[in-house]
Structure 1
Amino acid sequence: MKEHYHGHRNRLKKRFSKEPESLYDYEVLELLLGYVLRGRDVKPQAKELLERAGSLSAILGYDTKNIKGLGEEAQMFFGAIREFFARLGYEDIDREAVIIDKPEKAAQFLKYKIAYDKKEHFVALFLDVNKKLLGFENLFKGTVDRLAVYPREIAERAITSKATHVIVAHNHPSGNMSPSETDITLTDKLIKALAALDINLADHIIITTKGFYSFKREQVI
């Protein structure tokens, strides 16, 4: 005998096929989870995950293992979705020569890499003289309100990468895009540390799920 949720899921699929916008957010999530956790009623997990994460987009940075019944497969699934969107963000750039010469391109590249995390990440993009991407590194990871960043280490990585320009960026899990005094002080230290090595700090970007702040665009540097 088929479980009750099989009929429910089929009805969801039919509704989605005819009118996808009619589904509630948790129902869309339920459909997705149904492909990961087959043969199970995942409606309770879908509702709880959405409630705990706060929004559909926030799920991309939420640890699904906190939800009873969701394990490594669900975590891997949403990680793959996040990487999928990250690649969509810069697929129009020539993969043989990723040029990041504008704040918008840097933010586009970084959004799905760090914007959705609940902890702060400090990353660096290393570029050659033509702003071609030489490397990307997630250098430091901290709590929501505390992140230790070491300019000397960033300078060393830039030398190793043979970079002419460096773009640094970090996320603000709070969603506030405004730079703090600490952000401004750190930027000044990085400018000096890199300039001593004839390396240019091209930008410092603060990124959130809603947008970004560019020190270069705002003429802070």
Structure 2
Amino acid sequence: MKYTRIAALAALGVAASLSLTACGGTDSGKDSSSKGSSSSSSSSSENGSKAESGSDSGSSQSKADDTNSGSGQDAEANAGAANGATEVSSKVEFCKTQDLAIDARDAAPDEVSGRIDITMINRGSATCSATGFAGVDIKDTDNTSNPIERGQAQPRITTLKPGEAAVFNLAYDIDNTGDSLTRPTNILVTPPNETHTVSLEWPAGAGAIKGAYTDVQVYPTHTTK
């Protein structure tokens, strides 16, 4: 009987040992699985970080491309501005009074309409512009000067090569009564966009001005072609 109890106890001990070993094996599997999951998660995280880093890199490259593109546009704009400045500086300059031969003559078409043509010849060595209205004052025998108003007309481009002429005229009604209140002696002319003035004699034979000097009008220059 003692032998039988000992054998039974030994069998129980072996069974308990096997049971513990089996339990230990299960825990080990769980740990291994947990570690594998953690490793996989870490790898995914790293890959995700790398992917995001790649996205940022692409974004930076895109920004750099945009910047370079903007710089190119700025360069083109600057070049355009420089070309514009060159074009402005290369435009024809206005004729200077000292380079113009100026005279006045009576050009009335009849005895009612008074007209005086004032001609300006470019005697300089370069092409110049006489475009616009000349400044005109008429001097009277009492030594007063009266500014002449502009007529209703649009200026035309008037470019003069050396030797070419431009003309503008004064227009008024002729007073045939002999009672005109004006006694003009000189015409003071300042070419368009100039400040220097020349004095011309009132043309002999020109009809008397009807009304006052404010009734005389000056018209813009044009070429004689």
TM-score scaled by length of structure 1:
0.23
Give the structure with the higher percent strand: 2
Give the structure with the higher percent helix: 1
